[in-house]
Structure 1
Amino acid sequence: MDLNAYQQAALRTAAPKDKPHEVFHLLLGLVGETGEIAEKAKKIVRDHDSDFARWDVDDLAKELGDTLWYVAVLADHFGLELDDVAERNIAKLADRQRRGAIRGSGDDR
């Protein structure tokens, strides 16, 4: 599926942009969904000696999908197309790789 097509489909289930506090709702939702993924990873570390082969991949796909929904709707809220967000990210990473700056920390490395 094309990312912009996904974004448009996701928007069919989103609240209106002018709903009070909607950006805050989207940000909290994004953090919550990524937290659910982290929580499941923590349980694999705790209960299964970090054997990530034990991860329920279907469940992970659902949680990643929920995360993607929030990213798509949040991007639209600020007038960004998901294809453009993805392209910018790949260009940023390629530039870091070219410069040997993949590792390390900081947004502007």
Structure 2
Amino acid sequence: MDDTYKIECYVETISSDGNVTVRGVDGYRLEKKEGEKEKAYNVFWKVEDAKNDEDGEVPVKVFSAEKSLSLEENSKELQFLLTAKANHLKASLDVALGNADEKDKVLIQKVSLI
């Protein structure tokens, strides 16, 4: 089963090696305690569970902001990310977690501007 998650976010950085850093919009990031420097966690929700949700409880996964997302070579998705970053637009990302051998790998599958 493919672990696909979604987040609504702003694109912070896009590097030449294909790594992307995002910041979740309100409701999609956790606040750190007062006095700590920055908000370091983004909240992703499971796509399949959100579609079938009847009781209001959607399982989420929290990723550290330091963890980069990787973009496979897909020029359409890259153009959406560049547009979102340049114009400070919200984006909706569908991401897939790597398999057990690639625990640190999070791949961007789809980008939509919202």
* Superposition TM-score, scaled by structure 2 size: 0.25
Structure of greater relative contact order (alpha carbons < 8 Å, 6+ residues apart):
1
Greater fraction strand = 2
* Superposition TM-score, scaled by structure 1 size: 0.25
Greater fraction helix = 1
Larger-Rg structure: 1
